[in-house]
Structure 1
Amino acid sequence: MSTQTAKKINVQSAVDYRNLDAPIYSWDASPRGKFTLSGAEASLPEHIADFQQTLRNFALNVARPIGIKLDRMTPEEAIAKDSPFWEFREKYLELGVTIEALGEMEPQEAALLFSILFEELGYGDAGLAISVGAGILPQWLCAKFGRTDLLEEFPDSMLGCWGITEPDHGSDMLDPSRSVVYPGSSYGRPNLVADLTGDDIVLHGQKSAWVSNGVIADVCIIYCAADSGNGASATEGCALVFPMDLPGISRGKPLDKLGQRALNQGEIFFDNVRIPRKYLLAGPEDYQRAVYCIHAEANALMGATFTGLAQAAADLALDYAHQRIAGGVPIIHHQSVRSRLFHMFRKVEISRSLTRRGLNFNNDPELGTPSLCAAMFSKTTGTQHSYEVTSDALQIFGGNGLTKEYPLEKMLRDARASLIEDGCNEVLALKGGSYLIDSAKF
């Protein structure tokens, strides 16, 4: 401890604590601090706190009821012209969250708003939150790459999709560096190849049924293998951003799945589609950087979204525990219920803290390269905790939790999907561990 610091502490220790602005004597006789919308979060800037309240109202009054309706529809009904999905989409755009607005904010303030945005959307409905996230990825990556020309051509009002996984390649597609591949093995032939040898880029093949917004999107960001004249390679690829009305593009059926049924997903087919060169976002020389970039952004989005879902489940369980009578008393009085609730809220706090810390770190302008590992910490922790918290919340609801009269069974299904989505957690742990290798220590 420096002499200067020691002197400062000595001076402070001489202050009469009874004259401080907030003495402990002003506390209640039985003190109990209260959480904010963000849990154990210090005061937010007023404009962000106000916007968070707007988002919470949107989550409860728009996203959640529409998400429940969509969950009970067939995949075809959920994307029909008269589907409530389009009402959600219209009302979301009215919130005014644009790439331009985020770009005008200080980087770390934008990171905080980004986290709050997807926490609150996840609080309302996780599937719709992911639809919003996938919907802005083409524009978001154009901004990251400084492509203002593409941002002008594809405004935020155009719904985006992200095509990366293929029928034979799931989480493999997030590993162009081959840090996860089994020794001596190969990822095999790609299902979609971009031919870069001509004046136009030619796409032939398909992306898998897991393209979020794939059946309904206006604009797409595609990550795929590339052929620069030496044949297609799983480690050589490109990223393209283009409109979805180009000749030769067709869509598959909307996917019928267990959870996140409000999120449209489906195959995209490319029959020798000619893509003008202006739509090339990243060529083979930039491909690994492009995968790293979008993966870091998407994993952070996942961490925030499923923190929000976990918070919603925990809040519902806490309210229900005060209402449900068992053993002659509200079940909140039973020790096992209180213990379960405590650990649910603890996991939410861990997930939120890790997500916001990672986003703050990765948006530090002095950092340079962001940490994909930090984003993967957020995704794997947020999704795993979300699954555990929604499961515990359903247990508190008991038999009622299993019925569609209550939202818990849907929340549990939505959370379960997240453990596989955006890179399954097991593969992310393997890939993340590779980033911890320090060759200088050998």
Structure 2
Amino acid sequence: MATSEKQVMTGIERKGDSPVYKWPAHPRAKVDEFGIEPPLGDIQREFQQTLRKFAVEVMRPIGQKLDRMTAEEIIAEDSPFWEFRRKYLDLGIQLSDLAEMEPEERSQMFCILFEELGYGDGGMAISVAAGMLPQYLSMIFGNEFLMERFPQDMLGCWAITEPDHGSDTLDPNGMIRHPGAEYGRPNTVAKFQGDKIVINGQKSAWVSNGTIAECCILYCAADMGDGADYSNGCVLVIPLDLPGISRGKPLEKLGQRGDPQGELFFNDVEVSTDYLLAGPEDFQRAVYSIHAEANALMGAIWTGAARAAYHMAHAYAHERKQGGVPIYRHQLVAYKLFHMFRQVEASAALTRRVVHYNQAADLPALQAAMIAKVTATDMAFDVASDAIQIFGGNGVTHEYPVEKIMRDCRSSMIEDGANDVIALKGGYYLMDEDLL
């Protein structure tokens, strides 16, 4: 046998041609700051990097300032909140540009946007998301009048929750209502009178941007002349400087203090039917649509917040020494960080899969958006709590930001539908009635 043939048979010549043999002798991949991210296009990567810089250099320090201020100070004219708002608008992110993209690219950009905003500050990310809902739903419903009337730089809010009805308002079809029960009298009613609509009632203190918004997407009961209940509602997009609209006191709360929340009151507020986005015949569609969008965005935001907590704990584990070595050398710390990383990456992958599916589908799957929201928010709270454990006593002090992230994450398990209620309703959406 010739020498060259021996070399081929033993793999000597093939060895250099295999990618595997180009690895180090002791392979060990290093994951960058964005995690297990498949290769992005130049535009997406630049978008992601720009937003990460904005999250770390603008949002995080402003969020920490807002966290130490009273609710009244947060919305004052000289508040750092308005600096954040101006700098966010300077990024030039336009819904119309995103809408023109193909579903895969659009879903990718949406997730990048809200993951990175959540990485900076969960509360302010919620403010941005709620702030665009009037314009976004107007665009989804193709209402040219409302799209022109309310440009994208106007700060919006979503007024659906009511003092006596939190999760009730997300269940207008009564899917999870106790048999024989009724949800009771609505707190806010829009009465239709010819070519005008008269609004009376109250929305609860949990309206994100409620104390500062310029416009509102209002979900409420509709009275067509024969009374009102939650199965017979309507959706209006209205300016909040109309006569008869007033606001409650800004809400003091545990976390997400960068999201100014408060009540809205309506006293004989009149608008023309031009401001009607969805009447009673379209109300179920409108609730389904906004809930699918909001839950998916929640998945992205709180995945980003969890990633921030993981990164902080990961860095601290390399710096902090106990037992004469960096605490990362202790097995339990490495074990915890692995599971934190696993949870964040699983949530990111799930959320992106859900958003892509729903952006591409003719009818989005609300149950899919629900699993993104519940998975991400439960995971974020757990990861933030584990981050505090790694920081030890330092983790519960104001000096380190992980305790703030945990407080922010706790609210996420309630807003946009309490996770328990969402799981119950989502379970019924999974039911195949053809098999019953």
- Provide the TM-score with structure 2 as the length reference: 0.96
| 8 A contact 2:114–2:297 mirrored in 1 | yes
Q: Which residues in structure 2 correspond to 1:166-315 (within 5 Å)?
A: 166-315=162-311
Q: Which runs of 5+ in 2 are unaligned?
A: 1-11
Task: Pick one of 75, 82, 89 that aligns with 2:85.
Answer: 89
Deviation at 1:31, TM superposition (A): 1.2
1:323 maps to which residue? Answer: 319
SS at match of 2:158: strand
Tell me the equivalent position of 1:396: 390
Question: Which residue, out of 72, 76, 83, partners 2:72?
Answer: 76
Equivalent residue number for residue 58 of structure 2: 62
Distance 1:295 1:158 in 2: 21
The superposition leaves residues 203-243 of structure 1 with CA deviations (integer Å, 9 ceiling, x where unpaired) of: 00010000000010001000011111110111110000011
CA pair 298-18 structure 1, distance change in 2 beyond 3 A: farther
Give a deviation string over 1:48-104, Cα, whole Å, max 9, x none. 011100000000000000000000000000010000000000000111111111112
> In the TM superposition, what is the alpha-carbon distance from 1:197 to its structure 2 partner?
3.3
* 8 A Cα contact 1:115 1:301, kept in partner: yes
What is the DSSP-based 3-state SS (H/G/I as helix, E as strand, rest coil) of the residue aligned with 1:31? coil
* Counterpart for residue 6 of structure 1: none
Q: Distance in 2 between matches of 1:69 and 1:190?
A: 38
Say yes or no: does 1:343 pair with 2:333. no
TM-score of the pair, normalised by structure 1: 0.94
Asked if 1:377 is matched to 2:371, the reply is yes
Distance 1:44 1:330 in 2: 34
SS at structure 1 position matched to 2:217: strand
1:24 to 5, 17, 20: 20
Q: After TM superposition, list the pairs within 5 Å mapping 1:133-172 onto structure 2.
A: 133-172=129-168
Contact map agreement 1:17 1:23 (CA 8 A) in 2: no
Letter in 2 for 1:92: Y
Distance (whole Å) between structure 2 residues aligned to residue 404 and residue 276 of structure 1: 49
Q: 1:26 to 1:155 in 2, by over 3 A?
A: same
Correspondence 1:123 to 2:119? yes
Q: Structure 1's 18 and 210: CA in aligned 2 closer, same or farther, altered over 3 A?
A: farther
Q: Cα 1:289–1:17, aligned 2, differ >3 Å: closer, same or farther?
A: farther
In structure 2, C-alpha distance between the alignment counterparts of 1:337 and 1:103, rounded to whole Å: 43
Residue 396 of structure 2 corresponds to residue 406 of structure 1 = no
> After TM superposition, where is structure 1 displaced by more than 6 Å over at least 4 residues in a row?
19-22
Does structure 1 conserve the Cα–Cα contact (< 8 Å) formed by 2:145 and 2:274? no
2:277 is paired with a residue whose SS is strand
Residue 102 of structure 2 is matched in structure 1 by 106
Distance 2:162 2:91 in 1: 34
CA distance in 2, matches of 1:243, 1:228: 22
One-letter code of the match for 1:356? R
Aligned to 2:412: 418
> CA–CA distance in 1 between the matches of 2:149 and 2:30?
47
Q: For residues 228 and 275 of structure 1, what CA distance do their matches in structure 2 show? A: 15
1:35 equivalenced with 2:7 (yes/no): no
Give a deviation string over 1:123-148, Cα, whole Å, max 9, x none.
00000000000000000000000012
**Residue of 357, 370, 380 corresponding to 1:386:** 380
Q: Is the CA contact (8 Å cut-off) linking 1:299 and 1:376 kept in structure 2?
A: yes
SS at match of 1:363: helix
Q: What is the SS of the residue equivalent to 1:233? A: coil
Specify whether residues 18 and 427 from structure 1 end up closer, same or farther in structure 2 by C-alpha distance, changes over 3 A only.
farther
Taking every aligned residue pair, what percent have the same amino acid on both sides? 61
The answer to which of 68-77 and 21-30 deviates more is 21-30
73 and 114 in structure 1: CA distance in 2 versus 1, 3 angstrom threshold: same
Residue type at the aligned position of 1:414 = D
